[in-house]
Amino acid sequence: MYNYLNMGLLSPSTSGVVDDVILRSSLAALTAFVASLLLGTKFIEKLRECKVSEDVSKTPSETIKRLHADKKGTPTMGGITILLSVFIATGIWCDLTNSSIVALLSAALGLGALGFADDYIKLTNKHSMGLSDRTKLFFQLVIGLLLGIFLYQHFSDLDVGTRITLPILKDTALELGWFYVVLAMFYIAWTSNAVNITDGLDGLAIGCAIMASLVFCVVAYVVGDWETSRFFGVQHVPGTKELSIFCAALAGSGLGFLWYNGFPAQTFMGDIGSLSVGGVLALVALLTKQEILLVLIGIVFMVEAMSVFIQVVVFKVSGRRVFRCAPLHHHFQFIGWPETKITVRFWILTAVMSLLGLLVFRI
């Protein structure tokens, strides 16, 4: 990866059309899309050769085994192409001296490594479900803690503070102080897990992630530009305009991956893709000071994660199940909805909530 900013062609301090963030965002999206398409073809072939495929027999549910029987042998760990494409596009079109960009790449790398370890254990041990939930959560919290400390120092240096701004009530803010580190830690871990949980049907998680990335591409530009943020009446966060390029790269790589992950999927993300995508989306929301906005836009992720939480808690307390099966997309499968119907309707819900999120952001 070669960073054109170092050549002076795309320096943030240089005026001209080449320096336009919108142009660089578009180029980053196209670069990531093409890279994802090209890498996807090669990786799918390689994964098939190495027999790195999904094992649907490890689920305890006989119904899910039956419903997903046709997925047996589908290559997994395709999320590697998402990460590589994002790194390539970001390396070319982003200012790598921007600390927020460095933090996002570090988060993607750290959570991607955790996901790789989980996938690798599943693939090499046919009797293993991967890392235990506690082990996975522990490392997610560690990564979230490190990122939370970075955010605390980052915002202190920018005099932005550790306030949480409430949508619509823009004059109302909650000052959290050091508790902001704890909030960021759990926020990142929760969102990372939420995307991972959602990634159970062909194209479902990545389709929702693409829409969230596009919304935050706009949001990052607005809060990062002083005049635009003043016009919209939102808090200006210096340096976040560069995040538009990262979000565009994430959306482009996701579109390229969806080419192969759409029904019937030729490859799956695996934890290497879902954990990292969820984590960086959470970090973008934190960096732009729009934490609650992601809850609206990523409503599918949040509901999917909550369905698992509710199912486990209620079953332990009462011995009863709220849903036929959790996460929620499996519940709809159990009541007879086709996989494509569930995926498309969840996409529609995400699209509607994305528009609502932008409306709330504007108000």
Number of domains in the chain: 1
Rounded average pLDDT over 208-212? 97
Per cent of the chain over pLDDT 70 is 90
Tokens of 160: 């932005």
Per cent of the chain over pLDDT 90 is 65
**Residue 321 included in any domain:** no
Looking at residue 58, what is its pLDDT? 64
**Residue 337 included in any domain:** no
d(CA 259, CA 257): 5
**Residue 165 included in any domain:** yes
Decide: pTM greater than 0.85: yes
The type of residue at 234 is V
Looking at residue 108, what is its pLDDT? 97
Q: Among residues 256, 269, 259, which one has the least CA distance to residue 33?
A: 256
Q: Which domain holds residue 10?
A: 4-295
d(CA 243, CA 238): 11
Rounded average pLDDT over 283-303? 94
Is the pLDDT assigned to residue 161 strictly greater than 90? no
Burial of 335 (0-12, 13-18, 19+ CB in 10 A): exposed
Looking at residue 127, what is its pLDDT? 65
* Average pLDDT of the residues of the chain: 88
**Residue 180 included in any domain:** yes
d(CA 240, CA 95): 11
Q: Identify the residue with better confidence: 74 or 301.
A: 301
**Residue 13 included in any domain:** yes
**Residue 79 included in any domain:** yes
Rounded average pLDDT over 191-212? 96
**Residue 201 included in any domain:** yes
174: enclosing H helix or E strand: strand 173-175
**Residue 339 included in any domain:** no
